[in-house]
Amino acid sequence: MKNLQLVAVLYMVLSMVAYQISASFAKQLITTLDPLTVTILRLSFATIIVAIMFRSWTIISKLKHLKWRDLLLYTASLGCMNILFYTSLGKLPQGIAVGLEFIGPLGLALLSIKQRSDYLWVAFAILGIALMVPWHDANQHNFSYFGAACAVGAGIFWALYIYYGHRVAQQNIGMHALTIAIALSALTLLPFGLWNNAPVLLDTQYWGKALVIAILATAIPYALDLMALKRLSKLSYGTLTSLAPALAALAGLVILHEQISLIQWVALFCIMIASIGVTLRGEKSPAP
């Protein structure tokens, strides 16, 4: 059980690293395209990738036996989370956008607490997030209230994605659930994208970048997340994702040259402590 849980932690770390690198690439692309177009391109290519990876056509005969309520809610959470996050990414620095988005899964972790000792690690995570957001710069040009609202909304749907991810993982359809969710999200958003900006959406010069983003942001992270959710509790998953704002800020610094202040470095330290603490807790208490 200990080895399985450590493997799940590794899955999550790799998932977040890939996702934050993709977010930096996506932010560069959003300067040219709109967030909706970038989201649709990413999900469309991701659908093809995961369908081939997992040979998802083999599940067609089982579709009528699935619990579609959970699967559709999982799909809706995934789609809304992505479009709202990409919208916030176009308005806010990457570290701030991810920090605000983290309110969702952190809230889920708070609701899952059963041991008093767990409050210490969640407290470190909360402190880290609070220090990551430049509250004193709220009126300056680098902070958007609309972007912040989108980031918080993305966080709420992130929490729902985690919750329904647990339920979908229990249907024993493996990674085919991922293919279905991404494909339905792409098909739902596609008409809006064509109406909004069809020429750009169909312009092949952007497809290469979108393919890279799809691999890093969807095919790899969502597959790893589903595998991790089978072995981690909601508390472990929700608090381990406290590493995401730190990785986002580092990716923004390295790829986008977004500077990190001294206070934000302190925030990164707090978030790292929370992540290490919940990992050590997970080794001592097996996940359900």
Alpha helices in 170-261 (DSSP H): 176-201, 207-214, 220-229, 234-240, 243-255
**Token pair for 225:** 């997340």
Rounded Cα distance between 228 and 216, Å, is 17
pLDDT at 138: 64
Rounded Cα distance between 276 and 3, Å, is 16
pLDDT at 288: 42
Question: CA-CA distances (angstroms) from residue 156 to 142, 161, 172, 287?
Answer: 23, 9, 26, 24
Within 8 A by CB and 6+ apart from 5, the residues are 231, 232, 236, 282, 283, 286, 287
Within 8 A by CB and 6+ apart from 252, the residues are 24, 93, 94, 95, 258, 260
pLDDT at 41: 94
pLDDT at 6: 81
Confidence bin at 2 (pLDDT 50/70/90)? low
Cα-flanking dihedrals φ and ψ of residue 270, to 5°?
-65, -40
pLDDT at 217: 85
> What is 16-85 written as a DSSP string?
HHHHHHHHHHHHHHHTTS-HHHHHHHHHHHHHHHHHHHHTGGGGGGGGGGS-HHHHHHHHHHHHHHHHHH
Task: Check residues 13 and 77 and name the one with the higher pLDDT.
Answer: 77
Angular region, 257: left φ>0, alpha ψ -120 to 50, beta rest: left
pLDDT at 227: 81
Confidence bin at 234 (pLDDT 50/70/90)? low
Residue 140: pLDDT over 80: no
Confidence bin at 210 (pLDDT 50/70/90)? very high
Provide mean pLDDT across the span 209-231.
84
Residue 85: pLDDT over 90: yes
**Average model confidence (pLDDT) across the chain:** 83
Tens digit of pLDDT for each residue in 88-123?
Answer: 998 888 988 888 888 887 777 777 666 777 788 888
Tens digit of pLDDT for each residue in 115-130?
Answer: 777 788 888 888 888 8
**Token pair for 65:** 């036996």
Tens digit of pLDDT for each residue in 166-195?
Answer: 888 777 776 778 888 899 999 999 999 999
pLDDT at 285: 54
pLDDT at 9: 83
Which of 6-10, 53-57, 155-159 is most confident? Answer: 155-159
**Token pair for 129:** 């997030």
Percentage with pLDDT > 90 across the chain: 27
Q: Which residues of 80-99 are buried (b: 16+ CB within 10 A; e: fewer)?
A: bbbbbbbbbbbbbbbbbbbb
Within 8 A by CB and 6+ apart from 198, the residues are none
- So where are the chain's domains? 1-284
Question: CA-CA distances (angstroms) from residue 213 to 142, 148, 154, 174, 276?
Answer: 24, 23, 18, 23, 28
pLDDT at 126: 84
